[in-house]
């Protein structure tokens, strides 16, 4: 599935997202270094059909390096959601990533920040990659992540103490 998306000539027929997790992330000299990265990468697709699965992270890196891969000619945008150094605070940054290098414990991407702030050292993280490498509005990308996070926070509170945010009273 993922290899089909990476090499397909007509990306408008599909929509896919790749998801990678790591125990920590560091930003150094234009690179993000994901430490304790998962050995598998999750992929999700909701068009033209709903598909969920995973691919080995090494296999994804190998596909990325192929000169015929969409990523080799058009580096994708990604949203990095991470726990920042402030206790308990979660943050998001939108980046453009390229040139992945995988070692036993680290996944390194060259990265340019499109929106947000990335601290040098950060806690656990999740990287959401636009698998089609389409231009993504940084505002809409991070806004959707914040909306999901805020909705889950609201749903986790005791409903007796929280007003419905949709009510206009």
Omega into 18 within 30° of 0, i.e. cis? no
| Total number of domains constituting the chain | 1
At residue 10, φ and ψ (nearest 5 deg) are -120, 85
Q: Is residue 168 part of a domain?
A: no
Instruction: Tell me whether residue 165 is in a domain.
Output: no
Q: Does residue 167 form part of some domain?
A: no
9-43 pLDDT, tens digit per residue, is 455 555 678 999 999 999 999 999 999 999 999 98
Domain that holds residue 66: 2-156
Angstrom distance (rounded) from CA 161 to CA 154: 11
- Report if residue 51 sits inside a domain: yes
34-61 tens-digit pLDDT: 999 999 999 887 766 788 889 999 999 9
In a domain, 92, yes or no: yes
Taking Cα atoms as reference points, which of 114, 118, 110 lies closest to residue 138?
114
Q: Is residue 163 part of a domain?
A: no
The whole-model pTM stands at 0.73
Q: Is position 99 within any domain? A: yes
Residue at 164 is within a domain: no
Q: What torsion do the CA atoms of 94, 98, 101, 102 make, to the nearest 10 degrees?
A: 50
């Amino acid at each position: 599935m993922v290899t089909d998306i990476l090499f397909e000539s007509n990306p408008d027929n599909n929509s896919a997202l790749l998801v990678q997790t790591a125990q920590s992330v560091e930003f150094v000299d234009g690179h993000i270094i994901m430490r304790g990265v998962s050995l598998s990468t999750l992929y999700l697709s909701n068009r033209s059909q709903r598909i969920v699965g995973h691919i080995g992270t090494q296999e994804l890196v190998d596909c990325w390096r192929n000169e015929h891969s969409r990523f080799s000619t058009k580096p994708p945008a990604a949203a990095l959601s991470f726990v920042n150094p402030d206790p308990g605070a979660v943050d998001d940054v939108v980046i453009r990533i390229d040139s992945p290098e995988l070692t036993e414990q680290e996944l390194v991407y060259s990265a340019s920040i499109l929106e947000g702030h990335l601290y040098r050292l950060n806690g656990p993280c999740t990287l959401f990659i636009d698998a089609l490498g389409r231009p993504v509005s940084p505002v809409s990308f991070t806004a959707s992540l914040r909306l999901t996070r805020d909705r889950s926070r609201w749903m986790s509170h005791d409903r007796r103490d929280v007003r419905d945010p949709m009510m206009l009273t």
